[in-house]
Structure 1
Amino acid sequence: MMTILSTAALLLSSLALSTAAWSADGAAKTVVLVHGAFADGTSWQKVIPRLEKAGLKVIAVQNSLDSLENDVIATKRAIKNAEGPVVLVGHSWAGVVITEAGTDPKVKSLVYVAACAPDKGQSLEDVTSKYPQLESRKEYMKDDDGFLRISDQGIKKYFAADLDPESKAVVAATQGPFHVRCLSAKVSEAAWREKPTFMVVATKDQIIPPQLEKDQAKAANAKAIEIPSSHVAMLSHAEEVSDLIIQAAK
């Protein structure tokens, strides 16, 4: 009986140590995922189960994509409601959002996934204007209210080029219109200058120049990985993206 009890106690002790691993040394407990332009929270559908399996809680923000201010408010609300510490992850346009929102003291680290990371006082336009304009821009369409979307053909050929046809159709159907005012909105903070930063460079990205992503990683002194991916690296290479987020959490 004593042997059985001792074995059970040992197993419980091991389980407790495993469960406490995320809280040791300030390790993160929650990942807040922020989607980019022309997307919504479903863009993280392949990453979320992997993070939860690793023992992390996950919150996927739903951005309005109508202004930097509103997307930062939505992201800060998610951070406020999350159990900290938090890893803040942004894709594409959301790199601008997490650059501003990531100074929150609950945020332990930042992960940029094929994203822009402007410096203080810079906008998305400021960052991208230094690089040659990509061919995908011809597929951008603007409505009478100033919202941009990418044509279905543009999604298939440029935005999500390495997904299967069914997945491309879902991305096209669920894309979130992106207001042009976001392009010139400047960040007042640069969280990557203060927090440990990780970056996914998508080397086959046709929405954000891969060289821009590489240059940002160098400027931020980030732990970076390069993936032969389209712009939607979290869908086409979910395992590698998830592994980097888990590393950032630890």
Structure 2
Amino acid sequence: MKSKTTIAALISSLTLAALTTAVAAQEKPAAVEPAKTVVLVHGAFADGSSWSKVIPLLEKAGLKVVAVQNSLDSLDGDVLAANRAINDAQGPVVLVGHSWAGAVISDAGVNDKVKSLVYVAAYAPDDGQSVYDSAKPYPQMPGLASFVKDADGYLKVSDAGVARFFAPDLSPSEQKLIAATQGALNSKALSQPVPHAAWHKVPSFAVVAANDLIISPQQQRDQAKRMHATSVEVPSSHVAMLAYPKTVADLIIKAAK
């Protein structure tokens, strides 16, 4: 009888241990696969070459990098371009946006392949917000006065504005290159709302440009706090990825892990 009791107790103990292990396995979150591809989305008045200093650093870290070329005609159009790059990418994706592209990645980031978002001196609208809406609570930045609108409603930055407001901490030769290669943004895009902001569900990171004269640095800080983002602040102009490429690359690499 004692032997049977001991065997029964042993079976009960083993069964309980098995159940405990099974429950623990169910409760333990699945390991997140590190990102393999970084998709870089440029802002207004720019093109994919604005990431030229960051790309080599990311590739050196073993990441595949794709720089999207936006039409800058509409939010929907730029989101489609980002999604094409995401869908073609190898493995999980870190989606990175500068400036205007913060709105783009907030929308495109709902793609299941996107595992983290990185905002670089960028807007981060909430659900139903446009870029204009997100900036309303903040004083108008001085650099906006350097925007020039053509007859079709497209915006560019004047050459003087690039040097004084947009990229004052870059060399004169770099400023001239930015002015010459900039893309024109359809001003209507700035009032187009983001339907569902991905940062509510996707882990987010942010580079705050403390000397930005285009997007309020305080707006950038407030957005990072609202998103519960891992953030770094640099004493940079609006083009933080050109003025502080290593800091930007390091944060993207951290997001990829």
Report the TM-score when normalising by structure 2: 0.87
1:134 deviates by 1.3
Poorly superposed stretches of 4+, deviation over 4 Å: none
Query: Does the CA contact (< 8 Å) of 1:198 and 1:223 recur in 2?
Result: yes
* Correspondence for 1:5: none
* Correspondence for 2:36: 29
**3-state SS of 2:67 partner:** strand
1:159 deviates by 0.4
1:122 deviates by 0.2
Match of 1:50 among 54, 57, 66: 57
Letter paired with 2:205: F
Match of 2:69 among 62, 66, 70: 62
1:26 deviates by 0.4
- Aligned counterparts of 2:235 and 2:207: Cα–Cα separation in 1: 10
Letter paired with 2:217: P
Query: Does the CA contact (< 8 Å) of 1:33 and 1:60 recur in 2?
Result: yes
**3-state SS of 2:73 partner:** coil
- Aligned counterparts of 1:187 and 1:232: Cα–Cα separation in 2: 23
* Correspondence for 1:218: 225
Q: Cα deviations across residues 34-87 of structure 1 (Å, max 9, x unaligned)?
A: 000011000000000000000000000000001001000000000000012000
1:183 deviates by 1.0
* Correspondence for 1:198: 205
- Aligned counterparts of 1:82 and 1:113: Cα–Cα separation in 2: 21
Letter paired with 1:171: I
Q: Cα deviations across residues 84-142 of structure 1 (Å, max 9, x unaligned)?
A: 20000000000000000001000010000000000000000001111111111221111
- Aligned counterparts of 2:167 and 2:175: Cα–Cα separation in 1: 6
Structure 1 unaligned segments of length 5 or more: list them. 1-23
Match of 2:85 among 62, 78, 94: 78
* Correspondence for 2:237: 230
Q: Cα deviations across residues 2-23 of structure 1 (Å, max 9, x unaligned)?
A: xxxxxxxxxxxxxxxxxxxxxx
The structure with the largest alpha-carbon Rg is: 2
State the identity as a percent. 60
1:188 deviates by 0.5
- Aligned counterparts of 1:178 and 1:139: Cα–Cα separation in 2: 14
Q: Cα deviations across residues 126-183 of structure 1 (Å, max 9, x unaligned)?
A: 0111111111122111101110001000000000010011111111111110011111
- Aligned counterparts of 1:216 and 1:52: Cα–Cα separation in 2: 29
Query: Does the CA contact (< 8 Å) of 1:200 and 1:225 recur in 2?
Result: yes
Q: How does 1:40-189 map to 2 (within 5 A)?
A: 40-189=47-196
**3-state SS of 2:143 partner:** helix
- Aligned counterparts of 2:190 and 2:254: Cα–Cα separation in 1: 31
1:33 deviates by 0.1
- Aligned counterparts of 2:146 and 2:210: Cα–Cα separation in 1: 20
**3-state SS of 2:65 partner:** strand
- Aligned counterparts of 1:37 and 1:211: Cα–Cα separation in 2: 20
**3-state SS of 1:26 partner:** coil
Match of 1:241 among 226, 238, 248: 248
RMSD: 0.8
1:25 deviates by 4.1
Report the TM-score when normalising by structure 1: 0.90
- Aligned counterparts of 2:38 and 2:144: Cα–Cα separation in 1: 32
Letter paired with 1:156: A
**3-state SS of 1:162 partner:** coil
